[in-house]
Structure 1
Amino acid sequence: MTLYENLAQRFISDIKAQKLPTGSRLPALRVICQQHKVSMTTATRAYDYLQQAGWIYAQPQSGYFVSPQADAYQQDHAPAAHVSLDKMEPRDPKDFAPLNGYNPTSALFTPLGTSMIAPQLQPAEALQRCIKRVTRRAGQQLFEYPDPQGEIALRSALAQHFQKEHFAFLPQDLVITNGCIDSVRIAIETLTQVGDTIAIGSPCFSGLLDLLVGLSRNVIEIPLGSDGLDLEYFESVLQQGLVKASLFSTSNINPTGQTLSVKQKQALAQLAARYQIPMIEDDIYFELSHQNLSPLPSKHWDNQGYVVWCGSVSKSLAAGMRLGWCLPGQYLESYRKKQVATGFGVNGLMQSALAEFINTGEYQSHVNKVRRLLGAQIHDYRQFLSLNLPQETKISLPQGGIVLWLQIPNLNTLELERQANQAGIDMRSGACFSTHDVYHDCLRINCGWPLQNTVDKHSSYQQLQKLCELINTLV
């Protein structure tokens, strides 16, 4: 191991031994240099390593602290998401959808259902001022069709923004789309045909399953467990030529909240290149790490252009802006042609507004703030659930994102969903996230709303309390 890795391992050992409990403040970098006789570079890299692995987090002007996620190494709270899928056979997702579909409660909206951040946590006034400034300057632009690939101002702003996250690309390689799901749709239509089979993670975000149903693609599910994707299973699928593409989330995955290791992300890029089978990377939660440092996507290790990286501000800023993007790699020209064939570009005014918001630094400032808030909210939700649910309940320990994944033995979450909907509570049962009947005792909860005890029956606190009561009557 390198010097900084050795230093990091000392802290990991202390955290595992609970010599440094959750929330403990770590020594300042200059103190580390003095105590361990190392350079500032070594000390900084050690702390970066610990942050990337989820052991610690940084608080601006306050220092470094042991992360709540470190509890996972003392307590077995994580749901047993890894399932055995015996047959590597293509499945048409529409034939295996729950009775009401993969997204059955989309017509009902309360804070626990849809994965999104509460409006009060968004920089509404700053964004509105930005849109007004851009509108006043727009002039003729308002009456012209936008650049089909996306306005160069936004593509350049995004390239500069992500370079600060140590993920570099060129503006000319990026395509702007109408949100992340649109990026993924165009990628699927570019890379596959109707009736083709795509490998997906299991559990898989219900919206992606809905999309695959609509596009008439089949799926083979790759188990996603506490150690990440079952890459041996996935490679055997590739070796047999069973799929034309893969579709995976890799960071702050919905619904489990976990992030694949650097080793797994590298392996996915390598497998795509080795078998020349493209991988679509849905990375919409990329920026919502609960630490200051975002995990790098698989695309970072893609040297041959087989990874098609998709993202958006729909989760980090404003879903209503309908702005996303894609790095199609070697498929850039075919991706652009497919996009032009199915649309006439993306709203130019909104593109200019987002470019302005990024360039002023207000977007980065907002992201930094909301990361800390989400980390605290996830912690609050986990504590509430731990106190109010059966002792055998397992609750995920996400390193980022907005959701929690629960597993409660002997609970029929489809029946829970039915009763919750009748009580005006939106939630997602495990059945929404797979074509297999393996998550019947699992559910997903959105934690994007602050957990405040108010008299409003639609508040997240009141909704969560009622949901816990329903669960306790069913187990």
Structure 2
Amino acid sequence: MAKYETLVDQIREQIKNNIWRVGDKLPSLRKQTETTGMSLMTVLHAYQVLESQGWIVSHARSGYFVAPKIQNSNPISKRSNATVSKAEEIDINDFVFDVLKANRTPYTVDFGSVYPDPSLYPRNQVNKSLTSAVSHMPTSSALDNLPPGNKGLRQIIAKRYAAEGMNVHPDEIVITAGALEALNLSLQAVTQAGDWVVVESPTFYGALQSLQRLNLRALSIRTHPTDGIDLDSLEDALKSHTVKACWLMTNQQNPLGCTLSNDKKARLMALLAEYNVYLIEDDVYSELYYGSQKPLPAKAFDQNGMTMHCSSFSKTLVAGFRIGWVAAGKMALPIQKLQMMSTLSASAPIQLALEKYLSARNYENHLRQLRRKLEQRKFAVWQMLCAEMPASVNINYSEGGYFLWIELPDHVDATVLYQQASKENISIAPGRMFSLNNEFDHCFRLNSSFECSLIQERAIKRLAELIQKMLEQ
């Protein structure tokens, strides 16, 4: 056995035996060489093997740590034998509305927010672009920016697709008032009241609200925190029901954070093509990856033009501008007509401002800085949660985005936790928001994008105390 393999086996066994626990920092490369007598390259090779196997994770300028997923048993996959859940009627909007309204209370530690920390946005640069766009806005701008939207902005978005190896013509792109409008218009374009639509379980609450508003029926497919949607269960649903569309997040899924592998994305698109089902792809978080390569959307594997790929600048550039788009392919014209009958168009000044910013500013440099800060903050929050939370709490960590999905023991109601925390100006997003049944009532989503100040630390400790009290009841 090679020396590095001996060290790999040794550290792996130590992690299994809880000598090194989740979040613990391993000895530095230099310290490990002193302890083992091995060369620096041998130790580095061993650490790299452990990292590739998922046992440890490296963080720039910080070192190596025991990876989250080793101790995460992901009890979601064990909770229920039901892989497909049906809902003839959907009633989620009132609860979601109440939670979102409560989260707007001043001085709240906003772990429940869907948006990243606004201080991470290049606000001054974007505002300058808006000021310049408004001052030079031509009199024809209202007409120029009607559906499908600002031509220059659509060309910029098309070039970003091209950089990923995707051939999306600017005329296929429709600019919308945020990604949610893009998703809603896409759903309207391919469904009628009473149709079956597939969503993930758990899923983004906005999808459930949209299905409720349009009187659609839902098939919820079990989704794993690491592996993503269960494609075997999806195939069963497609066989047994006449499904018109799937509303899915294949990258940095909200609330779980999982990203489908390219193999699963290819299989997903083959399944949908076989059953002639449209994919409405919600891809607002794909720019927030942590690795060296941006994950492709499922649309990149679509050979039949059945994908409406929706995204926005709300999670990466500025939330308040509410500018999104859908790369709709052959559904572009129907979506434009629907938009004309509802919001008419996205804001002309904002479209012009974004065109100006993206043309003149270094958006890629901003994205690199944003990803780095989000990764650092998420890891810091995760470490704090590991240190403060009771041992029976499961913290799912994903390599990207800014959400942590937290599972409490089955008998602990996260909605009660949400209510108790709200009284102390701490917001979380309870699992009930993301499901059509009570399967995730013991879970909650936590936003990790805010800097770990003393206020955040105290809030996490208080959440841990509230959970411990609930466990003792």
- TM bucket normalised to smaller: 0.7 to 0.9
Deviation at 1:164, TM superposition (A): 3.2
Deviations 1:296-331 (A, max 9, x none): 110010111111111011111212111001011232
Instruction: Confirm or deny that 1:447 pairs with 2:448.
Output: yes
Match of 1:102 in 2: 96
Which letter maps to 1:282?
D
Q: Aligned equivalents of 1:328 and 1:54: distance in 2?
A: 40
Q: For 1:67 and 1:385, how far apart are their aligned partners in 2?
A: 18
Contact residue 308 and residue 327 of structure 2 kept, 8 A: yes
Per the alignment, residue 140 of structure 1 pairs with 139
Q: 1:462 aligns with which of 450, 455, 458?
A: 458
1:433/1:384 CA distance change after superposition, 3 Å: same
Identity %: 26
Aligned to 2:287: 287
Mapping 1:213-228, distance limit 5 Å: 213-225=212-224, 226-228=226-228
Question: Which residue of structure 2 lines up, in the alignment, with residue 123 of structure 1?
Answer: 122
1:143 offset after TM fit, Å?
5.2
Q: Aligned residue for 2:82?
A: 86
Question: What residue number does 2:259 align with?
Answer: 259
Rounded Cα–Cα distance in structure 1 between residues aligned with 2:292 and 2:27: 16
In 2, Cα distance between the equivalents of 1:89 and 1:413?
21
| Segments ≥4 residues shifted beyond 6 Å | 12-19, 21-25, 53-59, 65-68
For structure 2, the 5+ residue unaligned runs are: 1-7, 16-24, 30-40, 42-47
Are the counterparts in 2 of residues 94 and 213 from structure 1 also a CA contact under 8 Å? yes
> CA shift at 1:123, angstroms?
0.7
Please, which of 68, 71, 75 is the counterpart of residue 67 of structure 2? 71
Query: Could you say what secondary structure the match of 2:404 adopts?
Result: strand
Deviates most, 234-243 or 282-291: 234-243
- Using structure 1 for the length normalisation, give the TM-score: 0.82
Aligned-partner SS, 1:319: coil
Report what 1:425 is aligned to: 426
Counterpart Cα distance in 1 of 2:200 and 2:144? 38
1:336 aligns with 2:330: no
Contact 1:91/1:219 (8 A) holds in 2: yes
How much does 1:58 deviate? 9.3
Deviation at 1:57, TM superposition (A): 7.9
Alignment match, 1:370? 370
Q: Helix, strand or coil: the match of 1:404?
A: strand
Distance 1:178 1:324 in 2: 6
Question: 1:94-127 CA deviation, whole Å, 9 max, x = no partner?
Answer: 34x49x5235311122321112111211111111
**Does the Cα contact within 8 Å between 1:273 and 1:304 map onto a contact in 2?**
yes
CA distance, structure 2, for counterparts of residue 283 and residue 13 of structure 1: 39
Q: Given that residues 177 and 346 in structure 1 are in contact (C-alpha distance below 8 angstroms), is that contact kept between their aligned partners in structure 2?
A: yes
User: Alpha-carbon deviation of 1:196?
Assistant: 1.3
Q: Give the residue type in structure 2 aligned to 1:466.
A: R
Helix, strand or coil: the match of 2:450?
coil
CA offsets 1:64-116 (integer angstroms, 9 cap, x no match): x9886x71454336453565353856414534x49x52353111223211121
Sort the Cα spacing of 1:90 and 1:280 in 2 relative to 1 into closer, same or farther, 3 A. Answer: same
SS of structure 2 residue aligned to 1:366: helix
Distance 1:244 1:55, change over 3 A: farther
Letter in 1 for 2:459: Q
1:21-40 aligned at under 5 Å gives the runs none
The 3-state SS of whatever aligns with 1:106 is helix
Q: Aligned partners of 2:136, 2:408: CA distance in 1, in Å?
A: 55
**Superposition TM-score, scaled by structure 2 size:** 0.82
Q: Does the alignment pair 1:245 with 2:245?
A: yes
Q: Alignment partner of 2:76: what SS?
A: coil
Separation in structure 1 between the aligned mates of residue 10 and residue 300 of structure 2, nearest angstrom: 32
- List alignment gaps of at least 5 residues for structure 1: 1-11, 26-34, 36-46, 454-458
Question: Is the 1:251–1:295 contact (alpha carbons within 8 Å) kept by the matching residues of 2?
Answer: yes
Alignment partner, residue 208 of structure 1: 207
Matches of 1:205 and 1:236 in 2, distance apart? 22
SS in 2 for 1:309: strand
Structure 1 CA distance, aligned partners of 2:9 and 2:151?
48
Secondary structure class of the residue paired with 1:138? coil
How far apart, CA to CA, are the structure 1 residues paired with 2:358 and 2:14?
Answer: 41
Is the CA contact (8 Å cut-off) linking 2:227 and 2:258 kept in structure 1? no
**Maintained 8 Å contact 2:69/2:396:** no
Q: Secondary structure at the match of 2:137?
A: helix
Task: Tell me, yes or no, if the aligned pair for 1:102 and 1:209 is still in contact at 8 Å.
Answer: no
Q: After superposition, give the CA deviation of every residue in 1:302-361 in whole Å (9 maximum; x if it has no partner).
A: 111111111011111212111001011232222222222223221121112112222224
RMSD over aligned Cα, in angstroms? 3.3
Query: 2 CA distance for matches of 1:23 and 1:310?
Result: 44
Q: 1:298 to 1:255 in 2, by over 3 A?
A: same
How has the CA–CA distance of structure 1 residues 339 and 242 changed in structure 2, closer, same or farther, with 3 Å as cutoff? same
- Contact preservation (8 Å) 2:56, 2:67: no
C-alpha separation in 1, matches of 2:361 and 2:14? 39
User: Do 1:115 and 1:402's aligned partners in 2 also have CA atoms closer than 8 Å?
Assistant: no
Is the alpha carbon distance of 1:102 and 1:94 closer, same or farther for their aligned partners in structure 2, counting shifts above 3 Å? farther
Distance in 2 (alpha carbons) for counterparts of 1:284 and 1:220 = 22
Look up the match of 2:21: none
Cα 1:82/1:329, change in 2 over 3 Å: farther
Residues 262, 143 of structure 1: CA spacing in aligned structure 2 closer, same or farther, 3 A cutoff? closer
